[in-house]
Structure 1
Amino acid sequence: MSQQTFDAACKEEGYARGVTTVGTDAYSIRCVNEDGSLQTFRPPEEIHDFVARACQGTYTDTRVTDRLATMGRTYSAWECADYGSYAGTPDLKKWCESKGLTLVSASSAKYSAYQWFCANSSGTTVEGIPVDDVCASQFDESALDRVFNVYGKTVEDAWDCFYTR
């Protein structure tokens, strides 16, 4: 998504001064009131609701939802995805086991949703988990991943899979 898309969404929701950022990650996007005060998201993952509304306002003829591609950017970190229906929670443990590895977590991860990896027992092999591939493998090729809470401490609190149309 673009800064212009977010700017239009902010103005549509009544924030006269449009959009700004308060940091460098995807959760730092804020709408600005006429008096210069900023929109708040409490809890922080409420930003997903705002982005979903921005997607729906942009693509009015289809059912879309927010999809966070990366926390490492602001506006362009977000995508609008064609949402068919909920598929379920990705089974990261089963994914690792299918590779002969074990699901492990790195408590030092900046965002807990990204704390899971596959590793062997000695820790000499460590692999990231492509959650989009997990969803496609577990459900079917039309399933996509969606992180809905980067602060989620469990897979169930952080990720889901959904079918595209």
Structure 2
Amino acid sequence: MSKQAFDEACKAQGYERGVTLIGTQQDAYSIRCVDDDGTLQQIDRYEQIHEFVSEACNWTYSGRRNTDRLATMGKTYDAWECASYGSYAGVPDLKGWCESKGLQLINRKEIKYPAYRWFCADSAMSKVEGIPLDKVCEWQFGEDALDRTFNTYGKQVADAWDCFYVT
């Protein structure tokens, strides 16, 4: 998504000034709509930013059923993608993915966002690999499946990730 797309979506929802970023450590969750008087869009739970982005996707790509897809927390507007949502597939099986590679699932607590703490490693921890969630969803549910982070602060896989089918 672009800043312009978020700006237009905010204005369509009645926020006259459009979109802005909040906070000092700006990331994908820093996006807010702002009213003419400077009032910011209220987002109380992390899930609400995903709901807002889905709404922005529906505004930008009307005529299809969209869902938000967070590509990275390290960016702001362009961290978000819009995917054509078919249906829910399930929770990605990270443990099964690691085991299929002869590795074990580990959780690295030093990573800032809990959803991104999952890795595959050998028993000696001499080989540690990141987990490509898009590939896990394809492996588990077929080539039409795609990953989605719905809560980067989720400490369990089921609280942070899901897979869905694209249309």
2:59 to 57, 60, 78: 57
**2:6 matched residue in structure 1:** 6
Residue 20 (structure 1) aligns with: 20
2:83 counterpart residue number: 81
Distance 1:38 1:50 in 2: 13
Counterpart CA distance in 1 for 2:89 and 2:162 is: 8
Distance 1:105 1:71 in 2: 18
TM-score by length of 1: 0.97
Moved over 3 A (4+): none
2:94 is aligned to 92
1:1-165 superposed matches below 5 A: 1-22=1-22, 23-165=25-167
Provide TM-score, normalisation by structure 2: 0.96
In 2: Cα distance, 1:79 partner to 1:157 partner: 20
CA distances 1:57-99 after superposition (whole Å, capped 9, x unpaired): 1111111110001111000000000111000000000000001
Q: What secondary structure, in the 3-state scheme, does the structure 1 residue paired with 2:35 have? A: coil
CA deviations on 1:113-136 (whole Å, 9 max, x unpaired) are 001000011110000000000000
Question: In structure 2, what residue type is equivalent to 1:96?
Answer: C
Q: Give aligned-pair identity as a percent.
A: 64
Once the two structures are superposed, residues 18-63 of structure 1 have per-residue CA deviations (whole angstroms, 9 ceiling, x without a partner) of 1011242100101111111211211123100000001011111111
Contiguous gaps of at least 5 residues in structure 1:
none
- For 1:152 and 1:41, how far apart are their aligned partners in 2? 17
Deviation at 1:14, TM superposition (A): 1.3
**Which sections of structure 2, spanning at least 5 residues, go unmatched?**
none
SS in 1 for 2:7: helix
Residue 56 of structure 2 aligns with an amino acid whose one-letter code is A
Aligned partners of 1:80 and 1:10: how far apart in 2?
16
RMSD: 0.8
